[in-house]
Amino acid sequence: MDNPVIPASGTFGFGYEFNNWFDISVLGSIALKGTTIEARYGNPLPRIAECPAGMINAIGLQNPGAVAVRDIELKKLAAVYPKKVIANVGGHSFGEYVETSAILSAAEEVFAIELNVSCPNVKGGGMAFGLDAGVLEELTAAVKEASSKPVIVKLSPNVTDITVLAKAAERGGADGLSLINTLVGMRIDLRTAKPIISVKRGGYSGPGVFPVAVNAVYNTREAVSLPIVGMGGIMNAENVIEMMYAGADCVMVGTLNLIDPCGSKKIIEDLPGVMERLGIDKLTDIVGRAHR
């Protein structure tokens, strides 16, 4: 990639929609909206709740299905975005993960598969596969066999020790890791005394989770040798530098895109100035600097 900034899956649609606000070709890459083998409507409304330092979402992987993403969404994106993208894959079974990964990895527009085994707002799938090290290792190996592209495993912070899962993904043959996915959260309506989100809980994201994400990336960098995509509450160029110091090779920006459609673009524009101020010549030189 020509820069390390990638809009995170679920916060940037299928990418081409944002070309109405800015030239998206400036982005390092794009992580597509989470995709399953069959079309999904997602969870019933309401499925968003605001928080003082972020938001909770329980969208539930709404998407048109793997074939439609390959044949329609990726073609629309390719018309306005010349670079390769990351396809995010979800599922309710090993078979669904494997089949969806095979379909999307065959698309010429895709350079990697991001395996979403850590989504906290999908019943019967998602996070369930990412909490057991043995299951995660087996699933990673199965997807690796089916995918013609590198596989990046997206890890959950909702565990005692995220490095146990990182090592399991590495044993399964993962080519990289992305972390962190959202924390589990809830908001309650003071008028009704009931949870705001229809399915009660959802994934908490935004600047409030940034220190948790930095810690997870730092610990994971010490535990494995795989490339790391760092994410979780990145709101500005300084956050990008801090995450790379912790050990991230590149970053994904999530909640900021929902606050400001041009947020990722602004971070890319601000990075050179922050690098100059901090005496950084090349971003690749600072990966893991906090460990040295």
Q: Which residues are catalytic?
A: 119
Pairing, β 183-185 against β 202-205: antiparallel
User: Taking each helix axis from N to C terminus, what angle separates 263-278 and 237-246, rounded to the nearest 10 degrees?
Assistant: 70
Specify the DSSP class assigned to residue 132. Answer: -
Helices (H), the chain: 66-68, 74-78, 94-105, 133-146, 162-171, 210-223, 237-246, 255-259, 263-278
Residue 205: enclosing H or E segment and its boundaries? strand 202-205
Specify the DSSP class assigned to residue 63. Answer: B
* Residues, the chain: 292
User: Taking each helix axis from N to C terminus, what angle separates 94-105 and 133-146, rounded to the nearest 10 degrees?
Assistant: 30
List the one residue out of 68, 194, 189, 197 whose CA is nearest residue 123.
Answer: 197
